[in-house]
Amino acid sequence: MDAAGWDERYAASDLVWSATPNQFVAAELSGLRPGRALDLACGEGRNALWLADRGWQVTAVDFSRVALEKARAIQARHPRAQELAIEWVVADALTFDAGPAPHDLVVLAYLQLTSDERRDAVRRAFLALRPGGTFFLVAHDSSNLTEGTGGPSDPAVLFTAEEVLADLDGERFEVERAERVTREVAADASHTHPGDQTRTAYDVLVRVVRASQPSLSSS
């Protein structure tokens, strides 16, 4: 789906995603010391707002102007709106230039791209980090199509943790977590069995730390 398609989707409802941060973002990143964060494909800004509320200086990027307008409106209603350090940027995750100042954290949450585009976005995000910075990705796992519930129906935009790590081939990093994870979602008429209250969705979660480049020894 292109930017115009996402504009239509965001304009059609109050909130496409929840007002609260993604559960894995909150669980995995709450212990990090605040610094400079980049949230690529931020949507309506739920993760960016959560990070900023915890003291992060956030650059939040999405190619949907409608999504960012909603994000700004949500920020304006926040009780500490003026204290939240967020720059909302209309740009594509595939072409956005993060600039020369390195980031302490980059978040990619549920970005739906084909393999070549995903590789470009993942590497662009990773290279925006300082050494010691954290790359965090969560998305719909390939297995969700046949084993889980919800998410995209196009297998071309689904992937695994192993594929994300392969996207970073040649880069130096330490893997803190790279695996399939489960997420319980409320059942609805489109995918419930009689008596079900929730169904299980399968996501891919990757958290790596950018390593320092090896020093060059003198001859």
- The reported pLDDT for the residue numbered 125 is 96
Residue range of the domain that includes 115? 3-210
With CA atoms as reference, report the closest residue to 28 among 114, 100, 94, 107. Answer: 107
Cα 32 versus chain centre, distance: 16
Would 186 be classed as within a structural domain? yes
| Whole-number pLDDT of residue 218 | 37
Instruction: Pinpoint the alpha helices (H) of the chain.
Output: 3-11, 23-29, 46-53, 65-77, 115-126, 144-147, 161-167
Q: Is residue 218 part of a domain?
A: no
83: in domain: yes
215 occurs within a structural domain: no
**Parts of the chain with a pLDDT under 70:** 1-2, 6-7, 9-18, 188-196, 214-219
Domain presence at residue 175: yes
**CATH code, 129:** 3.40.50.150
- What pTM does this model have? 0.89
Single-letter code of the amino acid located at 54: R
Domain count, the chain: 1
pLDDT of residue 54: 97
Residue 6 pLDDT: 63
Structure token pair of residue 15: 């909130």
pLDDT digits (tens, 9 = 90+) for 64-91: 999 999 999 999 999 999 999 999 999 9
* pLDDT score at 217: 44
Could you read off the pLDDT of 116-144 as tens digits, one per residue? 999 999 999 999 999 999 999 999 999 99
Confidence at residue 197, expressed as pLDDT on a 0 to 100 scale: 73
Residue 212: per-residue pLDDT: 86
